Amino acid sequence: MSDSGSHSDSDSVATYGPLQYTEADVLRCLSDDTAADTTDEEEAGDENANTRRVQCPTCRGRMTTPVLNVSCWHLKCEQCWLRAVGTKKVCSICNGPASVKELRKVHL
């Protein structure tokens, strides 16, 4: 069973750049699931100041690390995408397929 969605791995890398997440990131997120509210994590040294106004549609927290799924083009915070990929493997907004290989960080 392939975990790459509708695109082959080489097509995805050529179009959207190198992979930015691995299954290890998903496992780390699921094991560190003690911080349900990540809105205060990087308050002082936020390198992406524009994210102060962007709210995650899943957890309703501030997106300190916005991540895009290149399969469905939905934007969520990093923790919500890693949890979604690690549990249901679908986007909670559109129920489209979600894979760790399709996640890309966004700099606003």
Using CA atoms, how far apart are residues 21 and 4, in angstroms rounded to an integer?
13
* Alpha-carbon span 64 to 86, nearest angstrom: 20
Q: Are 39 and 62 in contact (CB under 8 A)?
A: yes
CA 2 to chain centroid: 19
Q: Is the pTM of this model over 0.85?
A: no
pLDDT per residue rounded down to tens, the chain (108 residues) = 444 445 555 666 667 888 888 888 888 888 876 544 444 444 444 555 666 678 999 999 988 899 999 999 999 999 999 999 989 999 999 999 999 999 999 887
Element (H, E) at 9: helix 9-16
- CATH 3.30.40.10 given to domain 19-33+50-105: yes
> Long-range pairs for 76-81 at CB < 8 Å and ≥24 separation?
77/38, 78/105, 79/29, 79/35, 79/38, 80/56
